[in-house]
Every structure is written in structure tokens, then in C-alpha cells.
Amino acid sequence: MMFGVAMIFIDQTIVAIAAPSISEEVGLSASGVQWVINAYLLALAAFFALGGRLSDIYGHRRIMLIGTLVFVASSVLCGCVPAGDYAQAWLIAFRATQGFGAALLFPSALAVVVAVFPVERRGRALALFFGLTGALTALGPLLGGWLTDWTWRAIFWVNVPVAIVALTLTALARIEDRRRPERLDLVGAALVAVGMGLSVLGFQQASSWGWTGPATWPCILGGLLVLVVFCRYELRVAQPLIKLRVFRDRAFTADNLVLFFAMLAFVPLFFFASVYAQVSLGSTANQAALYLLYFFAGFALASQWGGRILDKRGARPAMRIGAALGTVGFALWAARLTDLSMHNQWPFVALSGAGIGFLLAPASTDAVNRSIGASYGEVTGVVQTLRNYAAAVGLAVYGTLLTHATTDNVAATLRERGLGAGEADSVARSVAEAVTGQTGGSAPSGDGPLARTLDSAADAIRMDFALANRWVFYGMAIALAIAFLCSFLHPGTRVTERPPAPDPTAGPDTRPRPGTDDIPPGIPNTPADAVDRTPAAH
């Protein structure tokens, strides 16, 4: 399962490094490059819940295999894009199907791991799963830079040998395929796909359309309205896509709130730290990836400790420790960004990674352990959908914040060097767009007075960009602080026994279980002997 999921994590970051080479060879527009990156993330967010539900109905192993095949076939086709008028549409389309394959693959692979390991061993198993697969995200820029030196097409073709290993190991493992013979809620699947897709699209495009653009808020608000309709529909249908009553479990709700705010920092970090390293520190793409390895060194070690704490004391202590460490780490990292030295920053980079590592696996595992019946795929889909949604929001909000702060800082620097206010503001916007990659902008170039002014101000602009990034990293620290507060909502109960799986030959059990007819808020909807009601130690 880890080999299969590795492809998903690597592909979240690998394409950004190769984007200039792709654009040059096949003639993509600036918006086309952005869509090649966003199409994958958009499909991933829109279909995660559907992937989890399909996994429950048709079997985790079967959907994992289908998702792997869809993903690797799409990867091959992305690498085979022909030059010409259809190149842009070709790449965007198959990047979207690649995201759909990932949405099938990830929840089913995670559900396999959850089903195989009993509760008392699941914390450490999923800590290893999340720790190593999460660390693979750092390989994206490294692998992308190395493969692009040969050909950018190889960044897609590299998934083929990984998929072959994943499929071979899956066949050798002889994984039992459990199914829940229930009806697929197609209306719910369409509503959540449209709602997630529209709102994520609005957030993703806000930096290029502008927050006041005519399409930005209609997309965001329209998507949220569709999601409200989806929730109302799901509460009325007999066999919903997502059993929303799982949110009546206070611990499950707390887990997801912690994950949501943590993901506001975790996923956007890859982009913003990489761009900061290349612009302010003057690093190459490969050196920027090494900068992120400090983060994953702390992340990988803390993931294992967090898993042990989960197995022994429950999720609440691990989430509190992680959120507190992350808040301190990101705040100290933000304060050191103006040092313009990796050597002075690495302890705080590692501390930030340790904070995320401590809470990520325990919160995710505890949420999945509290699934209704044996619906691990469904709950995994819910958890991962919220995580991806948070990542999209974080990228949009922080991206806008960084662009505006960079524009203000660079404009002030240029005015100090003799440029008029209007010209300084215009040039500053171009520089900000170029260094942040938000709208495909480019800084002025040539041999004229303006170019010479920019060259002489290069060091000052690097510092301006570092100062602008401080706002982003302080924002990440605030997100972790909110996650820390949300961890206090967790009641501290621990799942001690996996709920029994339904008989695959029987129809859906519609009989109410004793004591579950009217479940008060905060009580997990699992059998009474499945939850230890004694609060875990602080």
C-alpha cells in the first residue's frame, strides 16, 4: 500500500519543478501551466469521498488496484503528450484522470492497512505509513529536478516501475477483500464532487482571478451552497455516500478540526518554503528540496513517537504535543527567515516538522478507528477530503498574502531608489507575480535604466521577499495554535476494539443496535465494548 500511495505524494510536488520545461516544449500558456498543476489537485479533492465509498462497497483491494491502474495509465499518457494545438487540453485532461485515480487509490490503500492491523498495533503501523509517505513529498522536487535534466516526460513515466512493484506486492500479500453490499449514492457523489470542485476552484484561482474577480466568490459560495445541499440530502437518504452521524462523535469531530488546521500549514509549506529558498536564499531547485529535508527529518522521527503515544495513551496527548511544538516551531522559523541562511534556520525547520509529525498520524488514525461499523474506506474519504480542502484554502490565502506583502515591500524599496510611485507599484506587482509564481508574471528585463535599478536592488528584493514570507509562516503558526485549542474538544476516550465487520453475504443491517437509537452528541456510534470510556492521561 505504501508503494502505491508513494506515487500520489510524489506527484503533488514533482510537476511544479518541471513546469518551465513542459511549457517551453509543448507551448503551454501561463494559465495552462497553472491548470496542469491544479487539475490534479482539483480532481483529488472532488472525488476522495466517492473513492472511499466505492472501496467499502466493492472491496478495498479491488478499488486500490483499479485506482493504481487508472493513475499509472494517466501518468503514461501525460508523458506521451503530443506537440501541437491539443497539447494543453491533453495534459490537463489526463492530469485530472490522474487525480481521479489517486482519489480511488489513497482511501482504499489506507483502509487496507486499517483493516489488517488490530487497534492495539494500528497506531505505530499508521505512523510508519503516514511518516514515510508524507516524507516522500520532499522527493518530488529532488526527483523532478533530476529527471527534468533528462526529459520532463520522465516525471510521469517514473510512476510505472513504482506501480509495478505495488501491484506485484499486492498480489503476493493475498489481502482479504471485504465488501459492504450497499447501494452507491450517485446523487450524493455528484453533489459533493460539484461542491468540492467549485469551492476548491475558487480558492485555487483567487490569486490569478483576484479576490474581487467576477468568478472568484461565485465559485466559492456556490460550491459551499452545494455542499450544504449535499449535507441536507445525506441526512435524509437511506444509504448515504457519507454517514454524517459520525460527526456526532465529539472525538471524531475534534480529530478532523485538528487535521483541518494542521493541513493549512502542512501542504502549503512545500510550495512556500521551496520558493523562499530559491528566491531569498538563492538555492537551486535541488537545494530547495534539501532545505525541506530538515522538516521531514523532524517529521519522520516525531511520527513514530506520536504513534506510540496513540497506542498507549490515546490521540489527545499526541495532538496537543504536536500542535504546541508546531506553533512554536513555525513562529521561531518565521522570525529567522530574514537571516537568509539555512544553517541558522534548520533547528526551527525540524521543530516545525516534528510538530506536524506528532499529530498527523494519531489524529488520522483515531478518526478512522471511530468509523461506523467497518466503513473504513468511507471515513478515510471524509478525513482526506477535509485535509485536501484545507490545503487548497491555505494555498490560496497564503498565496494572496505573500503576493500583496511582496508587492508592498518591493514598491517601498524601488521608491527609495528613485522610481516614481506609479512605476514602482507597477514594477513591484510584476516582480511579486514572478517570484511567487501566482499568475505567471515576469519581472522586467533588458539593459535599460529600470533593469539596472532592479539589478542593483536584487539583494534588497531578496530581503523584501523574506519579510513577506514572515506573514505566511506566522499564519501557519496561528493555524497550529488553533489546532492546539481544538485538541481540547477531544474527550480523551480511546477505541480499544475494532467494530465487527458485517457479513458480506447478507444485506445491509437496518436493525437498530441496542443503545444507538438516540445517540447524544459526543458518544461514538460504535458498539459499547469498542470504546474505552476512561479519559486518557493528559
Measured CA to CA in angstroms, residue 200 lies from 22, 89, 216 at distances of 25, 20, 10
Q: What is the pLDDT of residue 439?
A: 43
What CATH code is carried by the domain that includes residue 145? 1.20.1250.20
Whether residue 163 is found in the same domain as residue 131: yes
Is residue 490 one of the residues assigned to a domain? no
Is residue 494 one of the residues assigned to a domain? no
Nearest-angstrom CA–CA distance, 148 and 507: 52
Nearest-angstrom CA–CA distance, 66 and 103: 11
Whether residue 15 is found in the same domain as residue 72: yes
Between 154 and 516, where is the model more confident? 154
Is residue 175 one of the residues assigned to a domain? yes
Lookup result for grid cell 484522470: 97
Is residue 349 one of the residues assigned to a domain? no
User: C-alpha grid cell for residue 379?
Assistant: 471515513
Nearest-angstrom CA–CA distance, 6 and 151: 21
Checking if the pLDDT of 382 tops 80, the result is no
Average pLDDT, the chain: 79
User: C-alpha grid cell for residue 73?
Assistant: 495509465
Helix, strand, coil percent values for the chain (each to nearest 5): 75, 0, 20
Lookup result for grid cell 478515510: 380
Q: Is the pTM of this model over 0.85?
A: no
Q: Could you tell me which of 254, 255, 249 has the C-alpha nearest to residue 530?
A: 249
Q: What is the pLDDT of residue 138?
A: 60
Whether residue 171 is found in the same domain as residue 192: no
Q: What is the pLDDT of residue 288?
A: 73
Whether residue 121 is found in the same domain as residue 60: yes
Whether residue 457 is found in the same domain as residue 427: yes
Is residue 163 one of the residues assigned to a domain? yes
Whether residue 35 is found in the same domain as residue 92: yes
User: C-alpha grid cell for residue 465?
Assistant: 521577499
User: C-alpha grid cell for residue 329?
Assistant: 516551531
Is residue 142 one of the residues assigned to a domain? yes
Whether residue 47 is found in the same domain as residue 153: yes
Whether residue 74 is found in the same domain as residue 223: no
Nearest-angstrom CA–CA distance, 393 and 45: 12
Which range, 186-200, 214-228, 381-395, 487-501, has the best average confidence (pLDDT)? 214-228
Lookup result for grid cell 528584493: 461
**Longest CA span, the chain:** 81
Is residue 337 one of the residues assigned to a domain? no
Helix (H) or strand (E) segment spanning residue 203: helix 186-209
Whether residue 61 is found in the same domain as residue 24: yes
Which range, 108-122, 318-332, 505-519, has the best average confidence (pLDDT)? 318-332
> Where among 179, 203, 228 does a domain terminate?
179
Average the pLDDT over 156-183 and give the result.
86
Q: Which domain holds residue 459?
A: 405-465
> Where among 179, 194, 227 does a domain terminate?
179
Count of structural domains within the chain? 3
Whether residue 175 is found in the same domain as residue 194: no
> Where among 440, 465, 490 does a domain terminate?
465
Q: What is the pLDDT of residue 318?
A: 92
Whether residue 413 is found in the same domain as residue 428: yes
Measured CA to CA in angstroms, residue 289 lies from 1, 271, 394 at distances of 25, 10, 20
| Cα end-to-end span (Å), the chain | 33
Nearest-angstrom CA–CA distance, 366 and 495: 8
Handedness of CA 295, 296, 299, 301 (dihedral sign): negative
Q: What is the pLDDT of residue 526?
A: 38
